[in-house]
Structure 1
Amino acid sequence: MNSEEITLRKAEIDDKNVIWGIIQQSIERRRQDGSTQWQDGYPNEETVESDIAKGFGYVLTINGEIAVFAALILNDEPAYSSIEGKWLSDGEFVVVHRVAVDEKFAGKGMVKKLFDHIEGFTRSHGIQSIKVDTNYDNIAMLKILESKGYSYCGEVFLAGGVRKAFEKIII
C-alpha cells in the first residue's frame, strides 16, 4: 500500500473519456442507491469538457491511473451567495463539485484522500476555506464530510434541488 504514488493534478483533454466513464459509473451507482442526485442528465459529457477547458477539472491519480475526478472552482458558486443558514467565513474559498470515483477504487477511502489533497491545494494557494454541497441522500459523502471535519452550514438551492452545504476553514 505504501508504494502507491497518489497525486492531484489538473485534468487534461486527453483524460476526458476516462473521466466521463467514471462519472457514468457514479451516475449509475447513485441510481442504484435510489438517489435523485445526478439522475436528470447532469453532469454530462459537455460538463466534463467544460470543466477541463475552464481549468476546474482535477484528477486524483494512483500510480498514474485516474481514480477520482473532482471540479475545484475558486470563489465562484452563485448558488452559495444565498444560503438558508450561514457560512463559517466570507473569505476566498474553493468549491468542490462533481466528485466521482472509479469503481475499481471504490470503498478504499479515495474520496478522503482527495479531500486531503484538496486541503493541501487550498492551503498552498493561501485560500481560507473549502465549501461543498451534497444531496440529503448521499450518505457516503455526508459521512466523509463529517469525518474530515466539515461543518454543516445550512441549505443551498442548486441544480434544481435543495442541497446540504458544508464548509471547512483551512487557514
Structure 2
Amino acid sequence: MEIRKATINDLDTIALLFQEARNFMAENGNPDQWGTAYPPMELMIADIKEGNSYVCENGGEIVGTFYFKKGVEPAYRKIYEGSWLNEMPYGIIHRITSKQGTKGVASFCIGWCCERCGSIRIDTHRQNIPMQRALEKNGFTRCGVIYLENGSERIAYQK
C-alpha cells in the first residue's frame, strides 16, 4: 500500500468511500456520527486544496482516505474526564475510512501518520466501536472526552 496527497481528480472516489462508510456506520449501530451527508463536498474539496487530504492506494486502486495535519485542533484545547498524554506538538487524523472488504487499511494509514509525527491525536464517536478497536489495536490511549464546535461529544485518543 502507498499513501499520497489526494487531488481533485480523486474526489468522486473519495465521496464514494465516505458514502460506503456512512452506510456501514448506520448498519452497525452508529448512524449519528456522519449522518447521511458528512463530510459535505465543500469540506472534501477544502481538505484537498489545503493539502491535508490523503488517499491510500493498493495496486493503483484507492482503498482508503483520511485527513492528516500537524498543528492545533481547536476542539482539543479542552478535554474532560481525563487528560492528554502530553502537551507536545501533535498531528491530527480525521475522517479516516476504507473501502468495504479491504483489510488493514486503517492501520496502514495510522502507521503512516505516526511515522511523520511523534504525537498523534484523534477522536471518534462513542458508538463507533470499530474505530475504537482500531485505535486501541494501534497503540492509542483513550484520554477523555472532547466536544466539537457544534457540541457533539467525542472520545479522544492520543499516541
User: Where on the TM-score scale, by shorter chain, does this alignment land: which range?
Assistant: over 0.9
Q: Which segment drifts farther, 33-42 or 140-149?
A: 33-42
Aligned residues: percent identity?
32
Which of 132, 136, 155 is the equivalent residue of 1:142?
132
Runs of 4+ in 1 over 3 A off after TM superposition: none
**CA RMSD, Structure 1 to Structure 2 (Å):** 1.3
Q: Deviation of residue 144 (structure 1)?
A: 0.9
Which of 78, 85, 91 is the equivalent residue of 2:74?
78
Which of 155, 166, 169 is the equivalent residue of 2:157?
166
**Contiguous gaps of at least 5 residues in structure 2:** none
Q: Is the 8 A contact 2:143 2:157 kept in 1?
A: yes
- In the alignment, residue 113 of structure 1 is paired with which amino acid? F
SS in 1 for 2:33: coil
Residues 1:167 and 1:78: Cα distance change in structure 2 (over 3 Å): same
Q: Is the 8 A contact 2:55 2:66 kept in 1?
A: yes
- In the alignment, residue 53 of structure 2 is paired with which amino acid? G
Q: Deviation of residue 32 (structure 1)?
A: 1.3
1:31 aligns with 26
1:93 aligns with 90
Q: Deviation of residue 119 (structure 1)?
A: 1.4
Q: Any idea what the Cα deviations from partners look like across 1:111-137, whole Å, max 9, x if unmatched?
A: 111111121232xxxxx3000000111
1:49 aligns with 45
1:18 aligns with 13
Q: Is the 8 A contact 2:107 2:138 kept in 1?
A: yes
- In the alignment, residue 86 of structure 2 is paired with which amino acid? S
**Contiguous gaps of at least 5 residues in structure 1:** 1-5, 123-127
Q: Distance in 2 between matches of 1:41 and 1:83?
A: 27
Compute the TM-score of the two structures, normalised by the length of structure 2: 0.92
Q: Is the 8 A contact 2:22 2:36 kept in 1?
A: no
Q: Any idea what the Cα deviations from partners look like across 1:34-77, whole Å, max 9, x if unmatched?
A: 21110163212111111101111011111121111000022131
Q: Distance in 2 between matches of 1:22 and 1:153?
A: 28
Q: Deviation of residue 160 (structure 1)?
A: 3.6
Q: Distance in 1 between matches of 2:36 and 2:74?
A: 21
